[in-house]
Amino acid sequence: MALVLDLLNRDPRPNVGNPKAGGPGVSEPPRHPEKQKRPENPILRKPDWIRVKAPGSPKWAETQKIVKENKLVTVCEEAGCPNMGECWEKKHATFMIMGDTCTRACAFCNVKTGVPQALDVLEPAKVAQAVAKLGLEHVVITSVDRDDLKDGGAEHFAQVIRAIRKASPATTIEILTPDFLRKPGALEVVVAAKPDVFNHNLETVPGKYLTVRPGARYFHSLRLLQRVKELDPTIFTKSGIMVGLGEERNEILQLMDDLRSADVDFITIGQYLAPSRKHHAVIRFVTPEEFKGFESIAYVKGFLMVSSTPLTRSSHHAGEDFAQLRAARAAKTG
């Protein structure tokens, strides 16, 4: 799941520094104009196992300072990712490239929808500089969907990967990409840049796509992951889903089989949390015991790595998970 905060023009005063808002006294345009006329959904009370400590430690502030100084967008803040405090205290941040505005309008996502601005040609260098300053051993790079670009932003992804490699040769790189739907040749460009981990989230079971992820196609996303392994078998592949959207248990198990048929190495399963009453409702909170059951089943099905907890997110513990993933492959291949 991608949740972003635009740190480019942040100011504590309402609308100051936001050229789109028209200055003080003028309301900002809605982040999700397509959701304005939707009925409000009830917000279920979060169970105790969802609650986490609020961020605010000195190390958290240091991470925030580095992000702001480099005028970057992260995938951690605006909708209050439950793991932000833990991750930023460890100087772990997931960078979101290609702006803060998405061309899709997924029902679960809090990323702003609209017409994106032109790509920042200096962004690859800015991201690489931030990675070096943070001293990251493992970095995760994600993006908004950019259907407006001929290649969906594939070359920009590749430039970011190459810039990080040059500035921090020892840093391992994980990317969480859009689906590059109807962008022929785009995937090949990204894979050629040789990220260590290629992550593309299925997000939900196929039966929920029309209501949850209407701009995407389940079997296209599945084929994208399969194609990565065909192009470069050394790259680890990863995908994640949310639960609590009304899916059935058997649908989750079938999705696991689909991912294994695409030779995906790593699956993440986490609880869906609605960003607002206008977003898709949380149908239920899945218990920790159920998550543990999904983990056991996924390992039996052959995944090298599984993260299945209520607070699991695509980038949570990404560095530690990558080390275990690499060790699991080494043990399997002998």
Indicate the annotated binding residues: 76, 81, 87, 102, 106, 109, 315
What letters, b where the CB count within 10 A reaches 16 and e where it falls short, cover 127-142? bbbbbebbebebbbbb
Q: Which of 291, 298, 295, 219 is nearest to 262 (CA)?
A: 219
Q: Which of 11, 72, 52, 20 is nearest to 271 (CA)?
A: 52
Which of left, alpha, beta for 295 (phi over 0: left; psi -120 to 50: alpha)?
A: alpha
Outline where 79-208 has alpha helix (H): 84-89, 123-134, 154-167, 186-192
Amino acid at 122: L
Q: Which of 267, 190, 191, 192 is nearest to 222 (CA)?
A: 267
Given a contact cutoff of 8 angstroms between Cβ atoms, the answer to whether 209 and 177 are in contact is no
Annotated binding site for [4Fe-4S] cluster: 76, 81, 87, 102, 106, 109, 315
